[in-house]
């Protein structure tokens, strides 16, 4: 695509692609990436190597992208926005280190996870030290409302994971419980990224709360997508081990809808509590035959539409176009499943 085309396509909010949205913020994302990798140097030399490994593993950097797009959609992208992006990603990385311990995950982005590499003890502490470091960086904002909101989002992520862990293998889990859990564990950081991106730009309260709601709905939709993937995706395509939610007793939307459908309840419950590979593949094919995947996708698409509606008050510019491109891309990914 030529630069002119790109410009034309960026002229309306809905006119830019996912890749173009990332291109738009690429120089800032590059800085974020460098800053994330440079954090290791802030640690004691004995700890530096671990942090360097963990922070260097890469990732989709969705939270930084949202913070930067929200920034550009509401003003100029400033160094404070880059700080925000770095801090939110560090918190996300810290939670992943602890998630991998809890899930006993061996791989993270095709590399051995911290727990696989150095054991659970060191990994608990590495998550802690990264977390403390991220919250220390957040005290540099001139307005303490920002660091308070970040710490709040971090606490929400942990609370959501506590509830999720507490309710593993709980056959009484409802879809309402599920939405609440994913709103906390996933959407809280998405929401903080969008809200604070606009807050730092000194956007109006309407715009800030609109972006916060956008982030929440988008985060929920994204987690539903990820949960569908775990039960119906292909390992070759995703490059990660699937079926782990069921194995760990995390009942996600497709399973909850399957239970709601009321058919074969007894055998579904038996299979859910069995958590062996045969039971998991039997459940996956029941999900496949039952139509609950389509229902799950429909619900995710509804959340996406709701996310996009919250962008209504935002003035059109290329970054606002990027904020549209992300849910559009997620819709596209759902279509491909």
Query: Does the CA dihedral 44-45-47-52 come out positive or negative?
Result: positive
Q: How far apart are CA 109 and CA 58, in angstroms?
A: 8
Closest by Cα among 7, 28, 114, 131 to 70: 28
Please name which of 297, 321, 240, 224 lies closest in space to residue 20, comparing C-alpha atoms. Answer: 321
In angstroms, give the least distance from the CB of 151 to a copy of itself. 3
Chain residues in the site for a copy of itself (CB under 8 A): 43-44, 46-47, 50, 95, 98, 101-102, 120-122, 124-129, 131-133, 135-136, 139-141, 144, 147-148, 151-152, 154-155, 158-159, 161-163, 165-166, 184
Q: Which two tokens stand for residue 108?
A: 């993270």
Please say which residue, 177 or 316, places its beta carbon nearer to a copy of itself.
177
Q: Which is nearer to a copy of itself, 163 or 337 (CB)?
A: 163
Smallest distance, a copy of itself to C-beta of residue 102, A? 4
H/E element, 249? none
Strands 111-112 and 107-108, by their bridges, are: antiparallel
Bridge partners for 112 per DSSP = 107
State the minimum distance, in angstroms, from the CB of residue 45 to a copy of itself: 10
Closest approach of a copy of itself to the CB of residue 40, in Å: 12
Closer residue to a copy of itself, CB minimum distance, 126 or 283: 126
Residue with smaller CB distance to a copy of itself, 129 or 337: 129
**19 Cβ contact partners less than 8 Å away, ≥ 6 residues apart:** none
Kindly tell me which of 60 and 136 has the beta carbon lying closer to a copy of itself: 136
**CB–CB of 151/234 below 8 Å?**
no
Min dist. Cβ of residue 286 to a copy of itself (A)? 27
């Amino acid at each position: 695509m030529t630069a002119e085309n790109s410009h034309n396509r960026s002229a309306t909010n809905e006119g830019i692609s996912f890749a173009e949205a990332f291109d738009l913020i690429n120089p800032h994302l590059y800085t974020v990436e460098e800053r994330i990798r440079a954090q290791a140097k802030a640690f004691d030399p004995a700890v530096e190597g671990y942090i360097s490994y963990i922070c260097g593993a890469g990732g989709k950097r969705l939270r930084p992208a949202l913070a930067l797009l929200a920034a550009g959609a509401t003003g100029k992208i400033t160094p404070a926005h880059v700080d925000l992006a770095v801090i939110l990603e560090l918190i996300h990385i810290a939670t992943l280190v602890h998630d991998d311990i809890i899930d006993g995950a061996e791989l993270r982005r095709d590399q051995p996870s911290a727990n696989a590499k150095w054991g659970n003890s060191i990994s608990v502490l590495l998550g802690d030290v990264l977390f403390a470091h991220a919250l220390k960086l957040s005290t540099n904002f001139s307005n303490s409302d920002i660091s308070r909101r970040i710490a709040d989002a971090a606490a929400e992520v942990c609370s959501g994971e506590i509830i999720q862990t507490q309710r593993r293998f709980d056959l009484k889990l409802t879809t309402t419980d599920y939405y609440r859990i994913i709103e906390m564990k996933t959407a809280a950081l998405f929401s903080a990224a969008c809200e604070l991106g606009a807050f730092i730009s000194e956007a109006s309260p309407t715009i800030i709360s609109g972006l916060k709601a956008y982030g929440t709905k988008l985060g929920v939709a994204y987690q539903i997508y990820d949960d569908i993937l775990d039960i119906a995706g292909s390992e070759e395509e995703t490059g990660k081990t699937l079926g782990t939610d069921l194995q760990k007793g995390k009942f996600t939307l497709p399973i909850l809808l399957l239970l709601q459908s009321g058919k074969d309840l007894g055998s579904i419950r038996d299979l859910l509590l069995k958590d062996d590979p045969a039971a998991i593949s039997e459940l996956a094919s029941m999900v496949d035959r039952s139509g609950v995947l389509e229902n799950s996708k429909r619900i995710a698409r509804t959340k996406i539409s709701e996310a996009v509606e919250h962008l209504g008050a935002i003035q059109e510019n290329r970054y606002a176009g990027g904020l549209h491109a992300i849910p559009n891309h997620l819709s596209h990914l759902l279509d491909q499943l």
